[in-house]
């Protein structure tokens, strides 16, 4: 029984044309992170934040999954619930490649959260026009993404999965943001093997038993094929 936990970050979607955070050297579409990815920034200037996420939501219509996303979907088909796929990404490329049960710990671009009734709704259009909540009618919808200073989603479930993982694989993340950046240490503490697949060594590379550098579109299919071959 090989229980695998995979954590993905912006690097897995880079070759699909989704910009990463590091590439934009800390500025997202020209905005300092603290202006567009914090509750304070939203409080200060909701229109700018809504426009920022409307633009990222619209951009997702123009991109496609790449071989790395498809390889993880294949792995999910083979392993079933022995694979837990956790992503920091708010795009839906894992789902479009066929992965199911993806844990979006930082939320999703295609969902809106009503801060009045606390319900969440699939959302593929804009929020800058301050639309009414489909449930309660209040004009109180925000992007359903986790900003800095907010608690990521499904942390208890992730802790359980890291504690019982045989293998933890981190793909396409700089290891700069916590708590995601600490998952490798948690998994290792419970005896998991740990592997990093990234274009360059991340900030946490030294925590991994093994780190391979290269583009995800090559490294991930290679790793998945090896893993599946070793199970036969």
Q: Which two tokens stand for residue 36?
A: 């567009």
x/- track of binding to ligand BV8 for residues 24-63 (CB under 6 A) = -------------x--------------------------
CB 198 within 8 A of CB 48: no
Question: Of 4 and 53, which has the nearer Cβ to ligand BV8?
Answer: 53
Residue 88: is the preceding peptide bond cis (ω within 30°)?
Answer: no
Binding of residue 76 to ligand BV8 (CB under 6 A): no
Is there binding between residue 173 and ligand BV8 (CB under 6 A)? yes
13 binds ligand BV8 (CB under 6 A): no
Tokens of 8: 């993905």
Strands (E), 95-207: 103-104, 107-114, 120-122, 141-145, 167-171, 193-198
Q: Kindly list the distances between the CA atom of residue 180 and the CA atoms of 46, 77, 106, 141, in Å, as whole numbers in the listed order.
A: 27, 25, 10, 26
Which residues have a catalytic role annotated? 106
80 three-class SS: helix
Q: Which of 16, 88, 186, 194 binds ligand BV8 (CB under 6 A)?
A: 88
Helix, strand and coil in the chain, % to nearest 5: 40, 20, 40
Site for ligand BV8 in 123-152 (CB under 6 A): 145-152
> Which residue in the set 14, 73, 112, 192 belongs to the binding site for ligand BV8 (CB under 6 A)?
14
- Residue 86 makes contact with ligand BV8 by CB under 6 A: no
Q: Which range, of 16-24, 72-80, 112-120, 158-166, touches ligand BV8 by CB under 6 A?
A: 16-24
Residues of this chain that interact with ligand BV8 (CB under 6 A) are 9-11, 14-15, 20-22, 37, 88, 90, 106, 145-152, 172-174, 176-178, 180, 198-200, 202, 215-216
């Amino acid at each position: 029984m090989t229980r695998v936990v995979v954590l993905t970050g912006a690097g897995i979607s880079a070759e699909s044309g989704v910009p990463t955070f590091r590439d934009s050297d800390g500025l997202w579409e020209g905005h300092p992170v603290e202006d567009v990815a914090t509750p304070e920034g939203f409080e200060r200037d909701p229109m700018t934040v809504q426009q920022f996420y409307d633009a990222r939501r619209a951009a997702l219509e123009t991109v496609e999954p790449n071989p790395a996303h498809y390889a993880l979907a294949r792995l999910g088909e083979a392993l079933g619930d022995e694979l837990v796929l956790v992503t920091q990404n708010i795009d839906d490329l894992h789902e479009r490649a066929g992965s199911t049960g993806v844990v979006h710990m930082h939320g999703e671009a295609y969902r809106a959260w009503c801060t009045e009734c606390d319900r969440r709704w699939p959302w593929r259009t804009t929020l800058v026009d301050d639309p009414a909540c489909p449930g309660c009618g209040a004009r109180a919808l925000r992007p359903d993404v986790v900003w800095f200073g907010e608690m990521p989603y499904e942390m208890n479930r992730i802790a359980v999965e890291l504690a019982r993982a045989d293998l933890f694989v981190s793909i396409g993340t700089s290891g700069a943001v916590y708590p995601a950046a600490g998952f490798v240490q948690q998994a290792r503490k419970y005896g998991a093997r740990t592997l990093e697949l990234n274009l360059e060594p991340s900030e946490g590379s030294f925590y991994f038993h093994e780190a391979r550098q290269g583009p995800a579109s090559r490294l991930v299919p290679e790793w998945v094929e090896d893993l599946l071959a070793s199970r036969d």
